[in-house]
């Protein structure tokens, strides 16, 4: 369970990307970048915008994450880097959106970071951070330039590719560059649940990376990327239930389909695992000097037998994983740092996953790379108004080529082989009313911005006209 956190009375400052004003009763918070905080970055897998209690979920229990939100800052218009995991994670790691990133979709050949990519870990290593990652990587298989150890991480434990990462009782797991057999899961046995191994690894990484009496300046960056609640799609195709978990507690007695009991249990188990990490921060006496970010790689997925509509997993938004509608892109973001980031604060201004790298860079005093698309949000966390981003851009190469772009309240989507669709998200957050005919000027503006926002890639060629 999550230990009681220090109550935070300071309330945050200004507007994230110019969107939220301070109430007169609250003073600005000065973030102490000179204190060099530890960084714990948590990325869930296929968790929807509406899957947490703090984002409106009524049936699935997430007490630890709800407490993080109440004692930290919750973002209501935060966007994943893409609507499929590899590409989304690449934008997070490199600060480059999917029009510039080297991973732009799901491909067994091209889903790898390049040697030229600069990741969060590579930014923090020169600042004397111990960098470690555990869970699902999906940005470079064994032997490629994109493996964690080739991208700035001192230590890696988990799954390198998408295929292995959807197995909850895998026969093998990678520690750094070596494949380790899991004896308990050989010959069809299912005795060791992978998320338990990953969480145990993350707890250990926090403990080992924390300061000691002989090394009081030690700092860590831990990237914790659990599989939960991603379905085992292959198992789902065979049995109809790919939501694989040892027990459906605490939902055993609910009158729900078994797949939905299992998915709910997976989310609650994820929440409990995060509670274990927070407990270790307290035990290691670093909770007051650790920034925790929690998000998801993309929206929920209609796979493994689960239906996102059952728990309103997208929060009522249209679309799912693999689509560039809001339900596939909009995800939770919670930021927590006792005494530094405000309690019970809500930020409504749009921002995106590629903003995380420059934000972490500035928080830690590390150098912010050039040639990125993200922008640091630290100014907003200090109570200063920040000029809003001009626009947010996505492209997805998956069964075709799809683009999306948001500018202000307007969002354009160009599905593969189809005309542009236009939505006003302020008036129509569910993207029900395509208003292209009423606003040809806005369609042209967004179409021009789409063309300007991308560079061609040999690995991700555009389809023939």
> What is the pLDDT confidence band of residue 436, given thresholds at 50, 70 and 90?
very high
What percent of the chain is modeled with pLDDT above 70?
Answer: 91
- Report the DSSP beta bridge partners of residue 381: none
The per-residue b/e assignment along 308-340, b for 16 or more CB within 10 angstroms, e otherwise, is beebbbbbebbbbbbbbbbbbbbbbbbbbbbbb
Q: What CATH number does residue 428 fall under? A: 3.30.1120.10
Task: Mark whether 104 and 164 lie in a shared domain.
Answer: yes
pLDDT of 427 reads 98
Do residues 123 and 374 make contact, with C-beta atoms less than 8 angstroms apart? Answer: no
Separation CA 219–CA 215 (nearest Å):
10
Q: What is the pLDDT of residue 392?
A: 98
- For residue 215, report the phi and psi dihedrals to the nearest 5 degrees: -140, 70
Q: Which residue has the higher pLDDT, 11 or 222?
A: 222
315 and 417 co-located in one domain? no
Same structural domain for residues 289 and 414? no
Residue 238 lies in a domain: yes
Among 381, 407, 436, the domain-final residue is: 381
1 in any annotated domain: no
Q: What are the tens digits of pLDDT across the range 135-155?
A: 999 999 999 999 999 999 999
Local confidence band at 16 (pLDDT 50, 70, 90 cut-offs): very low
Question: Residue 195 belongs to a domain with what CATH number?
Answer: 3.40.720.10
241 & 341 share domain:
yes
pLDDT, residue 263, reads 98
Instruction: Work out the average pLDDT over 89-106.
Output: 97
Asked whether the predicted pLDDT for residue 5 surpasses 50, the reply is no
395-418 in b/e burial notation, b at 16+ Cβ within 10 A?
bbbbeebbbbbbbeebbbbbbeee
Burial per residue of 135-169, b for 16 or more beta-carbon CB atoms within 10 angstroms, e otherwise: bbbbbbbeeeebbbebbbbbbbbbbbbbebbbbbb
Mean pLDDT of the chain: 91
pLDDT 10s digits, 269-284: 999 999 999 999 999 9
Instruction: Read off the pLDDT of residues 287-298 as tens digits, 9 standing for 90 and up.
Output: 999 999 999 999
pLDDT band at 465 (very low <50, low <70, confident <90, very high): low
Residues 376 and 408 placed together within one structural domain of the fold: no
Mean pLDDT within 13-24: 28
165-218 pLDDT, tens per residue?
999 999 999 999 899 999 999 999 999 999 999 999 999 999 999 999 999 999
| Confidence band for 464, pLDDT divided at 50, 70 and 90 | confident
Residues 255 and 93: their CA atoms lie apart, in Å, by 41
Residue 405 inside a domain? The answer is: yes
Distance CA 419, CA 397 (A): 17
Q: What is the pLDDT of residues 211-221, one digit of tens each?
A: 999 999 999 99
How far apart (Å, rounded) are the C-alpha atoms in residues 81 and 93? 10
pLDDT for 25 equals: 26
Structural domain span for residue 447: 399-452
- Is residue 321 one of the residues assigned to a domain? yes
Alpha-carbon dihedral angle through residues 58, 64, 65, 69, given to the nearest 10 degrees: 100
Q: For residues 69 and 64, what is the distance between their CA atoms, to the nearest angstrom?
A: 9
pLDDT, average across residues 105-124: 91
**What is the rounded average pLDDT of the residues 82-103?**
97
405 and 369 within one domain: no
Nearest-CA neighbor of 51 among 320, 293, 282?
320
pLDDT at 8 over 80: no
Q: Could you read off the pLDDT of 342-400 as tens digits, one per residue?
A: 888 888 889 999 999 999 999 999 999 989 999 998 776 765 566 788 999 999 999 89
- The pLDDT of residue 341: 87
This prediction has a pTM of 0.92
Residues 313 and 375 in one domain: yes
Give the pLDDT confidence score for residue 29 in this predicted structure. Answer: 46
Model pLDDT, residue 381: 72
Token pair belonging to 46: 């296929």
How many domains are contained in the chain? 2
- Do 404 and 342 lie in a common domain? no
pLDDT tier, 231 (very low <50, low <70, confident <90, very high otherwise): very high
- Reported confidence tier of residue 4, pLDDT bands at 50, 70, 90: very low
Residues in the chain, overall count: 465
Q: Give 41-64 pLDDT, tens digit per residue.
A: 999 999 999 999 999 999 999 999
């Amino acid at each position: 369970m999550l230990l009681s956190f220090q109550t935070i009375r300071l309330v945050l400052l200004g507007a994230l990307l110019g969107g939220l004003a301070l109430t007169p009763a609250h003073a600005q918070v000065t973030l102490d970048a000179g204190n060099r905080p530890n960084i714990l970055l948590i990325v869930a897998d296929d968790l929807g915008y509406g899957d947490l209690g703090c984002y409106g979920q009524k049936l699935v229990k997430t007490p630890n994450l709800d407490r993080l939100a109440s004692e930290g800052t919750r973002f209501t218009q935060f966007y994943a880097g893409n609507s499929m995991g590899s590409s989304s994670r690449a934008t997070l790691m490199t600060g480059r959106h999917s029009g510039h990133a080297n991973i732009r979709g799901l491909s067994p050949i091209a889903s790898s970071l390049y040697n030229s990519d600069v990741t969060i870990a590579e930014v923090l290593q020169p600042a004397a951070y111990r960098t470690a990652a555990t869970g699902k990587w999906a940005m470079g298989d064994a032997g490629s330039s994109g493996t964690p150890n080739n991208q700035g991480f001192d230590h890696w434990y988990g799954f390198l590719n998408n295929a292995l990462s959807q197995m909850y009782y895998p026969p093998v797991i990678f520690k750094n560059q070596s494949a380790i057999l899991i004896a308990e899961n050989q010959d069809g046995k299912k005795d060791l649940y992978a998320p338990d191994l990953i969480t145990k690894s993350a707890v250990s990484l926090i403990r080992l990376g924390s300061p000691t009496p002989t090394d009081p300046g030690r700092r860590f960056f831990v990237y914790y990327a659990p599989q939960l609640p991603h379905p085992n799609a292959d198992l789902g195709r065979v049995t109809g239930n790919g939501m694989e978990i040892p027990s459906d507690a605490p939902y055993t007695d609910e009158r729900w389909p078994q797949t939905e009991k299992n998915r709910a249990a997976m989310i609650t188990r994820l929440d409990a695992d995060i509670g274990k990490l927070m407990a270790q921060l307290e035990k290691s006496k670093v909770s007051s000097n650790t920034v925790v970010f929690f998000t998801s790689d993309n929206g929920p997925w209609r796979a493994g037998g689960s239906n996102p509509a059952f728990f309103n997993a997208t929060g009522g938004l249209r679309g799912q994983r693999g689509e560039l509608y809001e339900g596939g892109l909009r995800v939770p973001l919670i930021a927590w740092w006792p005494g530094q980031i405000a309690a019970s604060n809500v930020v409504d201004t749009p921002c995106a996953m590629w903003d995380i790298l420059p934000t972490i860079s500035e928080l830690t005093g590390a150098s912010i790379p050039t040639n990125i698309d993200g922008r640091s949000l630290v100014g907003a966390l200090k109570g200063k108004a920040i000029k809003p981003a001009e626009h947010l851009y996505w492209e997805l190469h998956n069964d075709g080529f799809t683009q999306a772009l948001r500018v202000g309240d307007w969002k354009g989507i160009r599905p593969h082989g189809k005309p542009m669709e236009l939505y006003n998200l302020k008036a129509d957050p569910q993207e029900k009313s395509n208003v292209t005919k009423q606003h040809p000027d806005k369609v042209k503006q967004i179409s021009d911005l789409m063309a300007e926002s991308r560079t061609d890639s040999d690995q991700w060629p555009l389809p023939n006209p």
